[in-house]
Amino acid sequence: MSSRVHSRFDSPAWRLAGSIASWAMFAFFFLGLYQSAAVVIGLGGFCASGGPYVIETECPESVVVFAPIGIFGMFAAAGIALFITRGFGLSLVAWAWPILFVGLGIQFILGAVGGVGIISNIIVGVLFIAMGLGPVWFVVSSKALTPTLVGSVNLAGARFEYEGKARRYFGFPPTEAEEATTPTGVDWVIALGLWVGSVALGSWLSVTAFNALATAG
């Protein structure tokens, strides 16, 4: 059953669609969560919505929508990357954690710089950034940076050749070594170009939706 599902999505069209959809979705939900964090920090670090009690600080509608769905949306994007993109292009699975935690960590630091909860925001911000940079250190020390940027396969599905720790990062079986190819300049342009375009699309949609909800609220 698993092999039939994998073969069903084993085509350039599916890899292309998966790469665009996963990164656009991740950018959409991450930026929505990032903007929500900025608003909540600006409100003093706490707000609420709904319930039978009088709420001192009401959450804007944009925060009510994006804060709870942000993490789930990013998980869904990672699922698309795992099962449809399947190793093509810049690895969402490898970079989702660092982007999320470093991004939110920076938002907490910015809140401290703005004079909101200075000590607590600095502590949380530094902790988040450290948590985000941990996987980056692992990728770099494992010599797996290139595989996470250009992928483990090209658009046609041919595996790239990586050695040592970079090879183990993707769990390549030794029998595939002779069939592997080397990433070309075209592979890099396709992988990074799709990533930039997809992130730009998702970010634009996120900002547009967030502002629309904020205005409506």
Q: Over the stretch 20-69, which tens digit does the pLDDT of each residue have?
A: 999 999 999 999 999 999 988 887 777 776 655 545 677 888 888 898 89
Q: Is the dihedral of CA 102, 90, 80, 205 positive or negative?
A: positive
Rounded distance between C-alpha atoms, residue 62 and residue 184, angstroms: 43
| Percent of the chain scoring above 70 in pLDDT | 84
Lowest mean pLDDT among 12-21, 25-34, 127-136, 145-154: 145-154
Task: Please choose, from the candidates 64, 68, 86, the residue with its C-alpha nearest in 3D space to the C-alpha of residue 29.
Answer: 68
pLDDT at residue number 67: 87
pLDDT at residue number 174: 43
Say if residue 215 is exposed, middle or buried (CB neighbours under 10 Å; 0-12, 13-18, 19+).
exposed
pLDDT at residue number 78: 93
What are the angstrom distances between the C-alpha of 98 and each of 23, 106, 108, 124?
14, 12, 15, 15
Rounded distance between C-alpha atoms, residue 139 and residue 114, angstroms: 33
- Backbone φ and ψ of 94, nearest 5°: -75, -35
Rounded distance between C-alpha atoms, residue 20 and residue 23, angstroms: 6
Is 21:80 a contact under the CB 8 Å cutoff? yes
Interaxial angle between packed helices 61-80 and 12-42, expressed in degrees from 0 to 180 and rounded to the nearest 10: 150
Mean pLDDT in residue range 67-88? 92
Q: Is the pLDDT of residue 121 over 70?
A: yes
Q: Is the pLDDT of residue 173 over 70?
A: no
Rounded distance between C-alpha atoms, residue 126 and residue 128, angstroms: 5
| Percent of the chain scoring above 90 in pLDDT | 50
pLDDT at residue number 171: 45
Record the pTM. 0.86
Q: What is the mean pLDDT of the chain?
A: 85
Q: Is the pLDDT of residue 170 over 70?
A: no
Output b/e per residue, 149-183; b: 16+ Cβ within 10 A. Answer: bbbbbbbeeebbbbeeebbebbebeeeeeeebeeb
pLDDT at residue number 210: 93
pLDDT at residue number 79: 93
Is 89:196 a contact under the CB 8 Å cutoff? no
Say if residue 4 is exposed, middle or buried (CB neighbours under 10 Å; 0-12, 13-18, 19+).
exposed
